[in-house]
Structure 1
Amino acid sequence: MRIIRLSFFLIFLIGISPRLTAQQLVQIKDGEGIDLGLYLEYFIDESNSLKVEEATGQTYETSNAKILNLANLPFNVWIRFDLQSQTKDEIYLTVDNALLEEIEVYSITDGEIDKTFEGGALRPFHERSIQSENFLMKLPITEGMTSSIYLKVNSKFPLLLPMDIATPPALSKNYQEHNLFWGLYAGTLLFAFLYNLFVFFSVREKRYLYYILYILGSVIFYMGLQGYSFQYLWPNHPILNIRLGFLISLTNIIITIFSMSFLRITKKSKVMYYFGVGTIVAYTLIGIINFTPAYSLGLGLAQLLSLITCIYFITVAVISFFRGIQSAKYYLIGWTIFLVLVSVYILTINGVITGNFFTTHSIFIGHMSEVLLLSFALADQINILKKENETNQKRIILQLEENEKLQLKVTQELEEKVIQRTAEVVREKNEAEYQRKRSDELLLNILPAETAEELKNTGKAKAKHISEVTVIFADIQDFTKLSENLSPSDLVKEINECFSVFDKIMEKYNVEKIKTIGDSYMAAGGLPKPNKTHAKDVINAALEIQEYLLEYKKKKLLKGENPFEMRIGIHTGPVVAGIVGIKKFAYDIWGDTVNLASRMESSGEIGKVNISEATYNHVKDDFNCIYRGKIEAKNKGDIDMYFVEKK
């Protein structure tokens, strides 16, 4: 009896040991501040309905990063950590994500639950007990107490959650560092704004106005990500917090117009010009989405299109630089830096890169660099434009002189070319007639006669849905290994020998060869003209191929050579048949029937013909069919399969 009790006790300890060891106790002392990332545990409430009493009994996962990053989730997330106070100081919890739409904080001490904080980005700013751009709250814990802290958060924006606890001295230090960075950011952007505003009033150039508006819009957006715009610009209108996607769309429209003007992208550069116009239209549509319930999708699309736009800007800058626009070098450097750092930021908020101070602030660092470098580019362009005007005047004069000389030379050359061209036209006419006859022959060689005739008469061939065909796939076993022992010419010779025999067998049984793909051979019965014997025809062809390969194997082995061996798979069902492409026409078939036929081949065996249940139902009275059972096929689940033999 004691042994049984001891066994149950050991099992109990093993069962609870993960919960005992997974959660680390956070101990905070006088003057300390602690980053909570590695101490956190989280649970994703997919029901979005759990209360704190229910959340405490769930199984939590442990964070393995200094900054907890759950990317985009449509569910409530419960986060917890255990805290012991070893200080007489007050303890403050900071959650540095200003776009959390809902956040609730609970402290549980000796089984008693205390709701410490309730708020979110969709509530007026004045409701916050501590007026901070992020979520800052005082925890009701005194010296010697040990409490479990639970947070419930929800947002349609990425759940990047830098969290820390701190005593007032540490909190003050953290805010000094935090405010130092944002002071540097705001100061840099303010300098660039005022500088370009001064230049605009001096030269009255539209591109400076576009750039000033871009700086203004981007600053409001980026400060909005951190909560400053909410705190200082629209504290009583929290709904604007979820419209940041519209702001980034508007800002990107302005910078696109600026870039096209700055880099002189006109309709002459068709691809670059219309791509730019296309991005403006796309941003307009995304901006509209941000006023719908799918605003989080709008922000995500805006971020994705921002990356594409950055690449577009860099590409256009490179082209413009090599076209002689020297000021494009600053533009190129600025946007390259920005693209790299924006990519780091987006990968961070989507959980690909581990979050730290640099990665979570990389977009703002990149924005500062880009704004400064574009300001240099604008300043440099004024001087460059003056020099370009002088150079262009000289070039025009020289060009006029060269044109006069060229005109005389071209007139003489044109007369000679007329004579030559007349003779060429006669030769080309004869060649065209020969090529027409040759193309007719080639067309009949690669397309079914019915399809070839339709293509010649109408210039196109319509794709057709054929309700029932039988598709065959044959594949050489260990082709790579066999090919290593053959020279390229011998390898092609062997494949050609086998596939030529296959072609004759297919023709014998009225089966249409579709194509060869490397060492695979594909054909289909019942097309282009449907018939009722397609399944039987294809299986007869398949069995004859295996008979040929058996004789072929014997001959190869007598010579001491390695023969080709094949798996053959067959499936019956509907397909769409037609011509692919506008060059190198190829008659092909599509549909799940083709995929299943391929799975029949890959699930078969050497020397066997493996068929599906659909094919079996057509030929079960004509052949011996051996049921293999349900065989798992890649991406198709378990499928009934049969080996087929002659009666």
Structure 2
Amino acid sequence: MTLRFYLFVFLSLLIPAAIAAQPVYSINDSVGQHIFTFQGIEYLEDPTAKLTLADILAHHQSEFTFSTTNFNPENVNPTSAYWHRIRIQHNKSSKKQWVLEFFDQTIDKIDLYVPDGKGSFKHFEQGDQFEFTKRMLRHKNFIFPLDNNRNDVVTYYFRVQSQQQAEVIVVLRSADYLMEYALDEYFFFGIFYGMILVFIFYNLLMYFAVRESHYIFYMLYLIGIGLYEMSADGIGFQYLWPLAVEWNQYAPGFTLYLASSAALLFASSVLNLRKDERWLFRLLMLVLALRTVFLILSIFVFTAWFSYRFIEIIPFSAALFVGIYRWKTGYKAARFLVIAYAFLFYGALIKVSLYFNFTWMPFGQLSHYSLSFGFVMEMLFLSFAISDKIRLLRIDKEVAQERTIEQLHENQRLKDNLNQELEMQVKIKTAHIEQQKEALEDANKLLAQQTAEIAAMNALLERDNDQLKHDVAEVKEARILSKDVDFEEFSAMYPDDASCLKFLAERKWHDHFNCRKCSNTAYSEGKSLYARRCTRCGYEESVTAYTLLQNTRLPINKAFYMIFLVYSSKGSISSHKLSELLHIRQSTCWAYSNKIKKA
């Protein structure tokens, strides 16, 4: 140490009245821990962030003061450095090892100055700007072991500087108490993050099972909440990114953005806003867009905005409002979502109150873990919301099935009545037939004699009938080709693809076949309808190949009708008229009619 520094130490010893009013805590083995509150910590703000310990000891001892508004001191101005001091009465007879623990894991840098009893100070530094592997104790909090091999009153100075708002929560603990508390704390952390992992994998499996988008949104929400809690608790820095110290400044902002965005999308999906309430859907999308703009500005323009975590109360409030509105309008599946976001809103309000100092809130497990408690309850009730929606959908399905069954029963009753009426008519007809039976028996004797003649006549009639059908078909075809007919009449002639393909096959091959590859004339039936397959080389030619119908996407009978209309009108029919007759887009009619004209 330099002579100047020893002079500063000497001067600091000359002004004991400056710290005489500060209470002294005595180490006692019967008390496992002591939390230094506003009554036990003095602080001094250094707006320049350039003061050294020597400057503090020489010129600024009388400027230390107690916090009168906060339970714990805070770095209200992120650009300033804050000096603090506490006084501890050491007890050399203590059988325990003692440590100083700082609860806030987001502090960028802590410089601890410990008097060594020889007029100088030992300097220790920790913070989230240093790699986690360089910590004195591998714990999520900042822990400084103390040398208790002394019986004097020691004044500890520590300098805190952080870009984000941080609370100076200092606890004196025995190593035994620290170990017991840490084991319990990490155990509950394991339960908490284990619950999140279980919910994530469960919703992933449910998504693969039912393909509902809200499972994906809920899974993304859980991932965002889990990563945010890990960044806030220091677990993420300890286990996920121990070497990426820069990520400590951005992790809360990015993870909260993921959580709030997924929460908005989840609420929109579960509440069916896109389908049932478009204006609420647009409201949530507007909030999501504004939150995205805020994130972009935080990255590229105002980096200090990453510490404004209270902004997340806006998207969660929007989701809560939408849920309440849907619940009041009769959508029962919204009730658990409202309860879930109400718990989260409660935890967020406590955190915001602590952030803005709206009310005096003493430090404790309830205030420190209020948001985590809100997240746990929210996860449970959001899962209930999904299950409740599925239950309501199942009830609606069962009601629809019951109505279907009732309708089927009614149809069966009508069918039975119809069958009874038919049976009655059959009985009447049967009686009438019986009356005519005797007359028919007499006539049968006469008919038996004429059977041979009738059989011959029937044969002639069958041939004449076949010829007549053929003539009628040709007449109908000729009539169709000779005058305008509508599509309904044309469809009566060619009702389906089979009749169209049959007509095309008759016109294409005329009962003969010539293979295009080997010129073989022998063929067999192909795989497709009316296709022909060469018996020599196996080449199969479909009936539409090398015709206007090849590769057409139009229905065959409509394509037939379009060809008929184009040819019958000698190409004068317009594409608009074709579109009106065939109910096909005009552009498609225009393209295909041009293809017909070019053929």
Same fold (TM over 0.5): yes
Residue 321, structure 1, aligned to residue 322, structure 2: no
Partner secondary structure for residue 286 of structure 1: helix
2:202 is matched with which residue? 195
Tell me, in whole angstroms, the C-alpha distance in 1 between the residues paired with 2:47 and 2:403: 70
2:396 is matched with which residue? 388
Alpha-carbon displacement from aligned partner over 1:37-91 (angstroms, at most 9, x marks no partner): 2311111111111101112333111145654345554311111101121124322
Residue 115, structure 1, aligned to residue 122, structure 2: yes
Q: 2:297 aligns with which of 289, 293, 306?
A: 289
Partner secondary structure for residue 68 of structure 1: coil
Q: 1:227 aligns with which of 220, 225, 234?
A: 234
Residue 254, structure 1, aligned to residue 281, structure 2: no
RMSD of Structure 2 on Structure 1 (CA): 2.6
Q: CA deviation at 1:204?
A: 2.1
Q: CA deviation at 1:316?
A: 0.7
**Change in CA separation of 1:72 and 1:389 when aligned onto 2, cut-off 3 Å:** farther
1:77 is matched with which residue? 82
Letter of the 2:41 counterpart: L
Structure with greater proportional helix content:
2
**Change in CA separation of 1:116 and 1:281 when aligned onto 2, cut-off 3 Å:** same
Equivalent residues in 2 for 1:373-384 (5 A)?
Answer: 373-384=381-392
Letter of the 2:180 counterpart: K
Partner secondary structure for residue 122 of structure 1: coil
Residue 41, structure 1, aligned to residue 47, structure 2: no
Partner secondary structure for residue 315 of structure 2: helix
Q: Which moved more, 1:203-212 or 1:190-199?
A: 190-199
Alpha-carbon displacement from aligned partner over 1:521-572 (angstroms, at most 9, x marks no partner): xxxxxxxxxxxxxxxxxxxxxxxxxxxxxxxxxxxxxxxxxxxxxxxxxxxx
8 Å Cα contact 1:101/1:154 also seen in 2: yes
Tell me, in whole angstroms, the C-alpha distance in 1 between the residues paired with 2:372 and 2:209: 29
The alignment of Structure 1 onto Structure 2 pairs a total of residues equal to 380
8 Å Cα contact 1:125/1:230 also seen in 2: yes
Query: Structure 2 regions of 5+ residues with no counterpart?
Result: 1-14, 405-599
Tell me, in whole angstroms, the C-alpha distance in 1 between the residues paired with 2:374 and 2:227: 16
1:144 is matched with which residue? 151
Residue 211, structure 1, aligned to residue 221, structure 2: no
8 Å Cα contact 1:158/1:350 also seen in 2: no
Tell me, in whole angstroms, the C-alpha distance in 2 between the residues paired with 1:391 and 1:305: 44
Q: 2:183 aligns with which of 166, 176, 179?
A: 176
1:369 is matched with which residue? 377
**Change in CA separation of 1:39 and 1:177 when aligned onto 2, cut-off 3 Å:** farther
8 Å Cα contact 2:100/2:146 also seen in 1: yes
Q: Which moved more, 1:51-60 or 1:147-156?
A: 51-60
Q: CA deviation at 1:200?
A: 2.3
TM-score (norm 2): 0.59
Equivalent residues in 2 for 1:331-480 (5 A)?
Answer: 331-352=337-358, 353-354=360-361, 355-389=363-397
8 Å Cα contact 1:249/1:286 also seen in 2: no
Query: Structure 1 regions of 5+ residues with no counterpart?
Result: 1-15, 397-647
Structure with greater proportional strand content:
1
Q: CA deviation at 1:389?
A: 4.9
8 Å Cα contact 2:115/2:154 also seen in 1: yes
Alpha-carbon displacement from aligned partner over 1:7-60 (angstroms, at most 9, x marks no partner): xxxxxxxxx897354311121122532111231111111111110111233311
Q: CA deviation at 1:268?
A: 6.2
2:310 is matched with which residue? 304
**Change in CA separation of 1:215 and 1:206 when aligned onto 2, cut-off 3 Å:** same
Partner secondary structure for residue 161 of structure 1: coil
Q: CA deviation at 1:319?
A: 1.5
2:285 is matched with which residue? 277
Tell me, in whole angstroms, the C-alpha distance in 1 between the residues paired with 2:228 and 2:242: 15
Tell me, in whole angstroms, the C-alpha distance in 1 between the residues paired with 2:302 and 2:104: 20
8 Å Cα contact 1:70/1:350 also seen in 2: no
1:611 is matched with which residue? none
Q: 2:274 aligns with which of 245, 262, 266?
A: 266
2:135 is matched with which residue? 128
Structure 1 or 2, whichever has the larger Rg, is 2
Tell me, in whole angstroms, the C-alpha distance in 1 between the residues paired with 2:274 and 2:33: 56
